[in-house]
Amino acid sequence: MPIPSKISSLLSNDYALSDSQIAFYKENRFIKLKQVFNEETIDFFNNIISEKVNNLTSTASAKEERSTYEKAFLQLFNLWRENDLIKELIFSRRLAKIASELMETDGVRIYHDQALFKKAGGGITPWHADQYYWPLATDKTITAWIPLQTTPLELGPLEFSAGSHQIMEGRALEISDESEFIIKQNLKLTNLKHVIEPFDCGEISFHSGWVFHRAGPNITDQTRKVMTIIYMDKDMKLKQPENKNQLNDWNTWCPGANVGELINTKLNPILFQKMNLKCTLI
């Protein structure tokens, strides 16, 4: 089944960011953008991604055998390698250009994607910073959080501590009950704004690797379905891993990359880069 032409066109068209939106992201290290996609596009990918997730999770562990983090959602990675239609979304110029412009880079590569499906009754996603897990040399990283439905507070949308990329305490914590408690207490000592808002259909958030964020429980009888894409500066280099999780990420998401060198593996293609236009005088 090919992607409908209207959806394919939208994926390749640019989303116009304002200077004030870029400035907001620079200060807070997160932003929510409305109408990035229309309802037709969200519904299309909801169906495609849901089918793939259902097929891949038929052997998932029983809920009681999982940790607090694992109980929060079903998590599957790099669906772009599993389905060509999903790849069209993950590799879309529209999203990659937003990521590059918010980070103020000359382009972005994919680090990896992941589907996060929080089933009815699914618990919290504890406070954490994503980049604890990533062996990446700079903070030029950003995640697009793409709800596949309208997401009211009852479904457990993503929450942010605005500007918390400046906070060092809690960065060395895995996602866990401990991170929820310690980071929550640390953030209470700051004047940073805790942003908890619903997501409209087609609204997408972008957040940096070091900003602290969490999500509440899903207290509805429906599954909260989200697709995420992690981007990094196209010139990102691999750093020496600082914990076992970063070592695992090196081997899993950028195999063959060398410490201190550009991450340029088959799993990390450039998804967007600025064109260098040169003027020629005649």
How many Å apart are CA 36 and CA 16, to the nearest integer? 9
Let me know if residue 53 belongs to a domain: yes
What pLDDT, on a 0 to 100 scale, did the predictor assign at position 26? 98
What pLDDT, on a 0 to 100 scale, did the predictor assign at position 62? 47
Let me know if residue 272 belongs to a domain: no
Let me know if residue 153 belongs to a domain: yes
Query: What digits encode the pLDDT tens for the residues 50-106?
Result: 999 999 987 544 444 556 556 567 899 999 999 999 999 999 999 999 999 999 999
What pLDDT, on a 0 to 100 scale, did the predictor assign at position 67? 60
Has residue 157 got a pLDDT over 80? yes
Query: Which region among 17-21, 68-72, 205-209, 238-242 has the lowest average model confidence (pLDDT)?
Result: 68-72
What pLDDT, on a 0 to 100 scale, did the predictor assign at position 71? 59
What pLDDT, on a 0 to 100 scale, did the predictor assign at position 69? 55
- 38: buried, middle or exposed (CB in 10 Å: 19+, 13-18, 0-12)? middle
Of 110, 126, 78, the C-alpha closest to 227 is 78
Let me know if residue 75 belongs to a domain: yes
SS3 label, residue 98: helix
Query: What digits encode the pLDDT tens for the residues 231-281?
Result: 999 999 999 999 999 999 999 999 999 999 999 999 999 999 998 644 444
Which DSSP string do the residues of 160-182 spell out, in sequence order?
EETTGGG--TTTT--SSHHHHHH
Query: What digits encode the pLDDT tens for the residues 95-144?
Result: 999 999 999 999 999 999 999 999 999 999 999 999 999 999 999 999 99
Per the confidence metrics, is the pTM higher than 0.75? yes
Tokens (6 digits) for 7: 């959806």
Query: What digits encode the pLDDT tens for the residues 163-194?
Result: 999 999 999 999 999 999 999 999 999 999 99
Let me know if residue 142 belongs to a domain: yes
Let me know if residue 249 belongs to a domain: no
Has residue 47 got a pLDDT over 90? yes
What pLDDT, on a 0 to 100 scale, did the predictor assign at position 8? 98
Has residue 34 got a pLDDT over 60? yes
Q: How many CA atoms lie within 13 A of 87 on its CB side?
A: 8
Instruction: Determine the structural domain holding residue 45 and report its residue range.
Output: 5-237
Q: What is the tally of structural domains in the chain?
A: 1
Let me know if residue 23 belongs to a domain: yes
Of 52, 41, 270, 12, the C-alpha closest to 147 is 41
Q: Regarding beta strands 213-215 and 158-161, do their DSSP bridges make them parallel or antiparallel, or are they unpaired?
A: antiparallel
Let me know if residue 250 belongs to a domain: no
CATH code of the domain covering residue 152: 2.60.120.620
Q: Which residues make Cβ contacts (< 8 Å) with residue 94, sequence separation at least 6? A: 10, 11, 12, 13, 14, 15, 36
